[in-house]
Amino acid sequence: MNKLIFGALSALTLTAGAALAEYPEKEIQGFIQWGAGGSTDTVMRSVTPHAEEALGGTIVMQNMTGGVGAIALNHVSGADADGYSLLMGAENPLLYKVMGLGDKDYSDFIPLILLARGTPLLVANNDAPFDDYQGFVDYVKANPGEIRIGATGPGGLPSVITAMMNEVEGDLDMIAVPYDGDGPALTAMQGGAVDVMPAVLGAAIEGVRAGNMKALAVFDVEAAAKLPDVPIVTSFNEGYNTFLPWGSFFGVFAPKDTPEDVVAKLSEAFATGAEHPDFLALMDDRGFKMMNISGDEAQAFLDKWQQGTTWLLNDAGLTKASPEEFGIARPGE
């Protein structure tokens, strides 16, 4: 009888021990939406070692490319919601539905953390006949169809900022000149092939500092620390407050049914990792603005970003479907 009691107690002890096991019990898989060497890859591989240290676990990183990031998103969305499959992503999934790239987006996930975002900057060729943002707007309106603006394709930063300017200022009649990325477009602008170019601050800042191009405005609600003398666009037109802050961003996501305690541990670990001096230095060096937000604050940012961006692209005729079809309300409604 004593042996039976002892055996039962031992079984209960083992069961209780298993129930109380601390997450993580095994390796966590982190799936990066983009290829090796890109911005998302660099950001995620820089912050994750510091998050691992805070978490007390191992996160195995792997690049899963394809479908403008949709392959990785669909893979993690279909994985068990147990905290062992994470999506290391950027902003692109918020456009999948309206651009006809997929039927899932971040509404199928919990934002564990939004790490940092890029800041858009409008720059111009040094010989352009204007020196600030208001001068640019006035010139375009007085000379329709004359100014050439660099572009990188639907959904890219230049297309969104151009659509934003048209929405806030009224249609600005410019000639869009397409390039394969902001690097070639900025090079072309310095050579005089285009007059203006919306670009992320990190890509344009060295050209501005070297005097190879002039900065007209920072598309943000506060000044950029690296270019404090360049005015923010809201100082010219408060209508931009509807859409800003805006920019490409980087975040870590888990399937939406992941347990709350696991979400809390992961969010805390990545928040700690994001404060590591090495990571902060990398973000500063690349011109990214730290966010380090999670929970309701992160979700509010994602919702505003998706609302503003999808409707801007829709009104510019660049989407495959209306945001309304997916329950995405127009900003202000």
- Residues 203-256 have pLDDT tens digits of 898 899 999 999 999 999 999 988 999 999 999 999 999 999 999 899 999 999
Task: Find how far residue 182's CA is from the centre of its chain.
Answer: 16
Res. 105: pLDDT tops 90 = yes
User: Cα-flanking dihedrals φ and ψ of residue 292, to 5°?
Assistant: 50, 55
The pTM (predicted TM-score) of the whole model is: 0.81
Same domain, 235 and 125: yes
Res. 264: pLDDT tops 50 = yes
Predicted pLDDT of residue 328: 95
Same domain, 31 and 93: yes
20-43 average pLDDT score: 88
Predicted pLDDT of residue 21: 65
Q: How many domains does the chain have?
A: 2
315-325 average pLDDT score: 93
Lowest-pLDDT choice from 1-10, 21-30, 115-124, 146-155 = 1-10
As a residue count, the chain comes to 333
Q: Where are the alpha helices (DSSP H) in the chain?
A: 2-19, 39-55, 70-77, 96-99, 133-142, 157-169, 182-190, 201-209, 260-274, 277-285, 295-315
Residue 151 sits in a domain whose CATH number is 3.40.190.10
Within-domain flag for 180: yes
Residue 89 sits in a domain whose CATH number is 3.40.190.150
Please name every residue paired with 113 in a beta bridge, in sequence order, or none if there are none: 252
**Encoded amino acid at 27, one letter:** E
**Which residue's structure tokens are 């083992």?**
14
Lowest-pLDDT choice from 13-17, 187-191, 194-198 = 13-17
Q: Which domain holds residue 293?
A: 27-118+248-326
Q: Which two tokens stand for residue 274?
A: 């994001």
Specify the long-range contacts of residues 186-190, CB closer than 8 Å, at least 24 apart.
186/123, 186/150, 186/213, 188/150, 189/123, 189/124, 189/125, 189/150, 189/213, 190/125
